[in-house]
């Protein structure tokens, strides 16, 4: 599902070059759950962003479901991401003035021409994330755990093959973190390919099959 070869991401500043990622080779199979572990600044969020097409490598090869995403024009990349990839952000990235339902259906707007179908898919995503009871509440009034469930529903609403999670439990207490892991387990059982960037020790030993990949100073350990 995901193939990364000789990946480098660097930034030039004056006479110096800073490497966020260096010589990354990583292969993630379809339906696999991979946990990217590392301290802040290790490069895991940068790697996740490149897999999701939110950033581009400085050099190297990145293939996602057969597509060389780093070479796709921005418009094609946006369409590919909308159809294939769901992203759960650390700070949720919700629009607080919208309701939960409105936030969840946003990813469907560019690709949908049947509002009845959009409503069906939104309802299904809310049910999957157990947030249907907050459908018409503005997200500014939700708790952290509820916002995370809206973010999960938004990520899965278009039925993508790949789910990317960036520090998904950083703003949650232990109880809600464990609930999030239950949600990820359910997505994994549905056959989704899941990649999680985190330093949370709760992900060291998940109750389902997963692989932990360690990063340190931009390199795989």
Q: pLDDT-based confidence at 109, cuts 50/70/90? A: confident
Would the pLDDT of 81 be above 90?
Answer: no
Q: Domains along the chain?
A: 29-54+84-220 (3.40.50.300)
Would the pLDDT of 114 be above 90?
Answer: no
Nearest to 39 by CA among 201, 169, 172: 201
- pTM score, two decimals? 0.93
Q: pLDDT-based confidence at 15, cuts 50/70/90? A: confident
Alpha-carbon distance of 130 to 150, in angstroms, equals 9
Length reported for the chain: 221
């Amino acid at each position: 599902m995901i193939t990364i070869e000789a990946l480098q991401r660097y930034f030039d500043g004056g006479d110096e070059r800073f490497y966020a990622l260096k010589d990354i080779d990583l292969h993630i199979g379809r339906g696999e759950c991979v946990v990217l572990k590392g301290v802040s600044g290790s490069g895991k969020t940068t790697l996740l962003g490149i897999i999701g097409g939110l950033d581009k490598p400085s050099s190297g090869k990145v293939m996602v479901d057969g597509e060389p995403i780093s070479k796709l024009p921005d418009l094609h990349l946006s369409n590919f991401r909308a159809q294939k990839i769901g992203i759960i952000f650390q700070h949720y990235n919700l629009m607080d003035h919208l309701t939960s339902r409105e936030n969840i259906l946003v990813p469907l707007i560019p690709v949908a021409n049947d509002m009845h179908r959009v409503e069906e898919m939104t309802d299904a995503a809310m049910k999957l994330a157990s947030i249907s009871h907050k459908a018409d509440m503005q997200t500014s009034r939700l708790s952290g755990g509820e916002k995370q469930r809206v973010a999960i529903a938004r990520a899965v609403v278009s039925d993508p093959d790949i789910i990317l999670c960036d520090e998904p439990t950083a703003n949650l207490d232990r109880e809600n973190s464990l609930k999030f892991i239950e949600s990820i387990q359910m997505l994994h059982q549905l056959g989704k390919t899941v990649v999680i960037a985190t330093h949370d020790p709760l992900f060291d030993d998940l109750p389902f099959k997963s692989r932990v990949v360690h990063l340190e100073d931009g390199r795989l350990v």
